[in-house]
Amino acid sequence: MSASAPFPDSVIVVGGGIVGLSTAWYLQEHGVEVTVVDRGSVGGGASWGNAGWVVPGLVTPLAEPGAWRHGVEALFRKDAPLHIPPRFDPALWRFLARFSRNMTAGRWRRTMEHLQPLTALALDAFGELRAAGAAPAVVEAPYSIGFRSTDDADHFRSHLQELRGMGQPVGYEHGHPAPQFSAEVTDSFRVTGQSFIDPGAYVADLAASVKQRGGRILENWPIHGVADTGHGVRVASATGAAEEADAVVLATGAWLPRLAREWGLRTPLQPGRGYSFTVDCDVPLDGPLYLPAERVVATPYAGAVRIAGTMEFAGADDPLDPARLESVVAAAKPVLRGVDWSTRRDLWVGPRPVTADGLPVLGRLRSPRIFASGGHGMWGIVLGPVSGRLLAGLIATGRAPLDLAPYDPLRR
């Protein structure tokens, strides 16, 4: 780390989602003593309610060319897939201005070039966790992509071809519509080489492995602040409790700026909230479904189906908005058949940490003892384990198998 901050024997990881727990597990691989603290229950945030996609071949920046059209819809359509609630929030508008500057083909390709080293190692990290018995195997399955227009299908085909041309690990076949698609779906693809997980169960197993290997996990431990004591770090709880260690990792998802900004975090980050719920379906899914135009996904989950969708730039702690759930249902109903919408349950909203440039935050802050990991946007599940592996290596040895400069938390 530095002459004044030797490699740590103990690390506190703030945040008990897949990113924080993966970091803790890989730190243990280096012989580091870990304590994980979380403001609520481990795995209870965005790591629980998401769609569970493990899709290294489909990881792309949210700010894509032409995405400005969704921004216009967000201002004038309450049921648009992207929603920006009208409110006075200068930080959000500054973020959206920077976000919009990345909606060019050139910046999209540059961001993709920086994401690809992470996606190339993503499945290796899942495989390591599985081989060690720390977590279940990912479920390999085809992803069925449905369209209501030939133009939309042709555009998506071009997108897949571009991804393959850039070296993304994605295969696809035209046709093979999923039996759950209604007659409204007139064209489809099957994307191969991808996987999915039950995210809540996966994170629970990972937490159990961290504990079984001697790690401490403190739940319902709201963080008040982080201090560099000159010889270590002190993490204080709002309840008055405190923990000390040689170093700390801030992996608090959409709440990352609250702790990391005073330690130099410059990258603009906003909570992009997603919604999900569980429903029963007459025909079991053999793999996830994706409706790009509707921005809705469906994943096999606990013997039923998890429906997820929307991107809402609202406060991380704002309550669930029933109207946003209804917008997901309204978008999905015409294109899915066999779904019993009356069985809706597990209603959930969670904030995903979105950066303006589409790259995660991964590395050291201004203190040599304080690190950050976050900003993965919609890709926290697929990039969580590999991010933990890379950051743990940097903390424990001063080295990482990849150049982490593109993900520097101190970048502007």
Long-range contact pairs involving 344-348 (C-beta distance under 8 Å, separation at least 24): 344/277, 344/278, 344/279, 345/277, 345/278, 345/279, 346/49, 346/276, 346/277, 346/278, 346/306, 347/275, 347/277, 347/320, 348/48, 348/49, 348/275, 348/276, 348/277, 348/320
Task: Give the pLDDT score at 221.
Answer: 95
pTM for the predicted model, two decimal places: 0.94
Instruction: Tell whether the model's pLDDT for residue 329 goes beyond 70.
Output: yes
Tell me the per-residue pLDDT of 116-165, one tens digit each, with 9 for 90 and over. 999 999 999 999 999 999 999 999 999 999 999 999 999 999 999 999 98
The stretches of 132-228 forming alpha helices (DSSP H) are 150-165, 199-212
Query: In this structure, are strands 187-192 and 195-196 parallel, antiparallel, or unpaired?
Result: unpaired
Q: Encode pLDDT of 258-277 as tens digits.
A: 999 999 999 989 999 999 99
- Say yes or no to pLDDT of 68 above 70: no
Amino acid at 226: V
Q: Residues of 208-220 as b/e, b for ≥16 C-beta within 10 angstroms?
A: ebbeeeebebbee
- CATH number at 10-407: 3.50.50.60
Looking at per-residue confidence, does 66 or 291 come out higher? Answer: 291
How many residues make up the chain in this entry?
412
The mean pLDDT value of the chain amounts to 92
Question: In the prediction, which pLDDT does 72 show?
Answer: 43
